[in-house]
Amino acid sequence: MRKKLYMLCGINSERKLIVDLLAIVFGIGSWLGINSVYVQLPLLVNNAPEGWNLPSYLVVIIQLGNIGPLLYTAALRIKSFRDSYLIITLLALGSCAAMTTAFVYDQTVHVFGEERSVPLFITVFCLSLVGCTSSVLFMPYMGRFKGIYLITYLIGEGFSGFVPSIVALIQGVGGNGECRLVNGTDPNEPPQYTSYTPPPRFGTRPYFIVSSVILAISMVAFVLLDRLSVCRREYAAVSIGNGNNYAYEPSTPNDEECRSESEKTSPPMKGSLDRTNYLVMMLLISIMCLFGNGFFPSIQSYSCLPYGNIAYHLTVTLSSMANPAACFLAFFVQRNSIRSIVALSVVFVPFAAYALTTSITSPDPPLMHNVLGDILVVACWTLLVGLVSYIRLAITTLLRCEGGQTLVWVGVASQLGSLVGSILSFTLVNYTDTFEQYYPC
């Protein structure tokens, strides 16, 4: 019965469900901490002293977490060690950082004559160490399993945005800001108004406590994935060297899988991409991460908040759900080609252009105070994030066949693109007049 159900869904019947489940829960812990912060931004920007500029600060701080991959790569050149111990340490750090965020997110420190959300910045940096290092540690670790489990892990990585989005939808955002009269009824005084936003169903503190618990569960899932014999039997036939430096042995199911992918690219050597296609895929994944992880998250508040808190809240939550949806779609797509990846990258352009247009024209973007404008901006951002997620996944699965070290370079290219995008957006948001904040009163 199970095999028939798998065949009906187009899923490999030889896979172990326990490995799939553990890989998904493990993947959830990769970026859950950072995604939790992003999804909570509609509430955080209203109270933080940085206001609408808070996302640009957080994006840069998150990219500082790339010190984790750099230290990891340097450590591999000095000494061999078990990656599993480092993964457990990172997930434990993420759980503790999320718990700390629950109690310090609204605390400020006086720095250079201004109030800044320094405690929040510190905890976000700790969470970013988990996410950034996962690109060169978690994903390559999964590469030692059979190829069918890499997509399963990436689905879990996508759920790292879906899970906090569900919690945020339950939490709500309270409603759109409204102007309220604050001075008396004296006709001789000019009226004074203040912006008021209705409170959500529950606050930011319980939200981050839930995130901390989920990260702890992810850590437990990884321990089981690493130690259970039923999971170890699902390793591919690989020879593992220092850290994640491993290569697939010939005459295995994975070899056939990689061969079927590479045949479409006409490589000079059996089982590998030619140098040009290899570099194109690396460059393309860097560009996708530059916009998807670095640039657009910083300007999202300027694009969406003029349409109201509800539109911003829906944009953040639904776009986070688009990530796992794209990964789940890839679960049923058996093959990816360079041609299809490039075509999807072209489709990405008009959505990126509309998102950029709405942010640049703030505080008066197109179709403001119109239901159609709300629908378009939410749909645009959701599809935009979905396309970025699917393209990244397609490139990753295509390059997986080049061996474990290639997945490390995929992570490096991803983080490098994200870093460039975050620096660019931070400069434009904080040191130019390109983006302007909308004030309802």
Q: In this predicted structure, what is the pLDDT of residue 266?
A: 40
391: which 2 tokens?
């393209």
The reported pLDDT for the residue numbered 99 is 96
Burial of 245 (0-12, 13-18, 19+ CB in 10 A): middle
Q: Are 78 and 145 in contact (CB under 8 A)?
A: no
CA distance 336 to 303: 33
CA distance 289 to 421: 8
Tell me the two tokens of residue 368: 């403001």
pLDDT top residue among 308 and 424: 424
Beta bridge partners of 115: 110
Domain spanning 11-173+203-250, CATH architecture: Up-down Bundle (1.20)
> Is residue 381's pLDDT more than 90?
yes
Backbone angles phi, psi at 114, to 5 degrees: -135, 155
Q: Where are the domains of the chain?
A: 11-173+203-250, 273-440
pLDDT digits (tens, 9 = 90+) for 321-330: 887 777 677 6
Q: Give pLDDT, residue 264.
A: 45
Per-residue pLDDT tens for 9-61?
A: 445 556 788 989 999 999 999 889 998 998 888 888 878 888 888 888 998 89
Fold of 273-440: Growth Hormone; Chain: A; (1.20.1250)
198: pLDDT strictly greater than 80: no
Beta strand 246-248 pairing with 238-240: antiparallel
Q: Are 392 and 345 in contact (CB under 8 A)?
A: no
* Closest by CA position to 297, among listed 207, 180, 426: 426
pLDDT for res 218: 96
Which residue type occupies 168?
A
Q: How confident is the model at residue 180, as a pLDDT?
A: 67
In the predicted structure, residue 424 carries a pLDDT above the cut 80: yes
CA distances 2 to 11, 136, 141, Å, are 11, 35, 28
| pLDDT over threshold 60, residue 71 | yes
What is the structure's pLDDT at 149?
Answer: 84
Q: What is the pLDDT of residue 206?
A: 93
For residue 433, pLDDT over 60 is answered with yes
Q: Say which amino acid occupies 22.
A: L
Domains 11-173+203-250 and 273-440 share a fold: yes
| Greatest Cα pair distance in the chain | 89
Q: Which has the higher per-residue pLDDT, 307 or 250?
A: 307
What pLDDT band is residue 196 in, cutting at 50, 70 and 90?
Answer: low
- The separation between CA 380 and the C-alpha centre of its own chain, rounded to angstroms, equals 17
pLDDT at residue 174, as a whole number: 61
- Bridge partners, residue 114, by sequence: 111
Q: Among candidates 61, 197, 196, which has minimal Cα distance to 132? A: 61
How do 193-196 and 178-181 pair as beta strands? antiparallel
Q: Is the pLDDT of residue 131 over 60?
A: yes
The mean pLDDT value for 114-138 works out to: 90
Cα separation, 376 vs 218, in Å, equals: 35
